[in-house]
Structure 1
Amino acid sequence: MRTEAAQRVELVFSLFDANGNGVIDSEDFDLMTNRVLEAAVASDGDAKAAIRTAFRRYWTTLATELDANGDGVISVDEFRPFVLDPERFGPTIAEFADALAALGDPDKDGLIERPLFVSLMTAIGFEEPNIHALFDAFGPDAEDRITVATWAAGIEDYYAPDMAGIPGDQLVAARAV
């Protein structure tokens, strides 16, 4: 596993630990889902249902695959190897990537404007300077938009253990605020 991938996983774990208790549990996914849905006010019911389903599947996949002792929580040590295994976790990430990217396109024109992108990523818990750096790394057009497909692919790349030098690395880079 590349160092960059390990750093990305550590960041994701810290964000998914939405209640800050040091482990990931079902409550964390409920909290994150609600924060993301609050940021997606312009999205339709189908897009909101899709992200709710994707978050729920994400948790269910983690709980099923990793909670061997049945305590209902996932530690960072349990999380690391699984989340970077494309064969075991790839379909869950693909569903999540498609649902989150679609949530960023409420007018369904295939484009995501920076303000909504920032709102959704902030709701997840990423730092705003890093969010802007990520958006810029995706190569926005002259009207400051990226495609839904670009964002979805970027999310999938973020979880790839062999990827480095990808736009998603902007999320873990230290930035002045």
Structure 2
Amino acid sequence: MRTEAAQRIELVFSLFDANGNGVLDSEDFDLMADRVVKAAAASDDDAKAAIRAAFRRYWKTLATELDANGDGVISVEEFRPFVLDPERFGPTVTEFAEALSVLGDPDGDGLIERPLFVDLMTAIGFEEPNIHSLFDAFEPDAEDRVTVTAWAVGIKDYYAPDKAGIPGDRLVTVPTA
């Protein structure tokens, strides 16, 4: 596993611990889904339902694969190796990536405008300078939009254990001026 991938996963764990109790539990994924849906007020009900389902699947996959003792929580030590295993976690990441990127395209034109991208990523918990750096890495068009596809691929790459130098690395490191 590359150092960059490990750093990305540590950050994801800290963000998904939405209730701040140091472990992941079902409440975290409900809280995160609520925040993201609230940020996507203009998106349609199907897109909102899809992201809620993706968060539920994310939790269900973790709980099924990692909660061997049945205590209803996942520690960071349990989380690290599993999330970076594309064979075990890939379909969950794909569903999440597609649901989140489509949520960012309420008008269905295949493009995501920067303000909504920032709102959604802020709802997840990323820092605003890092969000703008990521958006810029996706090479927005002249109207400051990125494609749904570029964002979905970027999310999937974020979870790839063998990738470095990807746009998602900008979410971990503070961009320099």
Q: TM-score range by the shorter chain?
A: over 0.9
Note the alpha carbon deviations across 1:57-88, whole angstroms, 9 max, x for none. Answer: 00000000000110000000000000000000
Runs of at least 4 residues of structure 1 off by over 6 A? none
Aligned to 2:173: 173
Aligned to 1:63: 63
Distance 2:142 2:176 in 1: 26
Distance 2:174 2:48 in 1: 32
Distance 1:50 1:174 in 2: 31
Distance 1:21 1:52 in 2: 22
Using structure 1 for the length normalisation, give the TM-score. 0.99
Is 2:3 the partner of 1:3? yes
Q: CA deviation at 1:176?
A: 7.0
**Structure 2: 5+ residue runs without aligned partners?**
none
SS at match of 2:19: coil
Distance 1:78 1:174 in 2: 27
One-letter identity of the residue aligned with 1:99: A
Distance 1:38 1:139 in 2: 27
Aligned to 2:122: 122
Distance 2:51 2:59 in 1: 12
One-letter identity of the residue aligned with 1:71: D
SS at match of 2:152: helix
Contact 2:5 2:161 in 1 (8 A): yes
Q: CA deviation at 1:174?
A: 2.2
Distance 1:94 1:151 in 2: 12
Q: Give the paired residue count.
A: 177
SS at match of 2:112: strand
Aligned to 2:100: 100
Identity %: 82
Is 2:87 the partner of 1:90? no
Distance 2:49 2:21 in 1: 27
SS at match of 1:112: strand
Distance 1:158 1:117 in 2: 16
One-letter identity of the residue aligned with 1:84: L
**Structure 1: 5+ residue runs without aligned partners?**
none
Note the alpha carbon deviations across 1:107-164, whole angstroms, 9 max, x for none. Answer: 0000000000000000000000000000000000010000000000000000000000
One-letter identity of the residue aligned with 1:129: P
Contact 2:133 2:175 in 1 (8 A): no
Note the alpha carbon deviations across 1:88-115, whole angstroms, 9 max, x for none. Answer: 0000000000000000000000000000
- The 5-angstrom pairing of residues 7-18 of structure 1 reads 7-18=7-18
Is 2:32 the partner of 1:32? yes
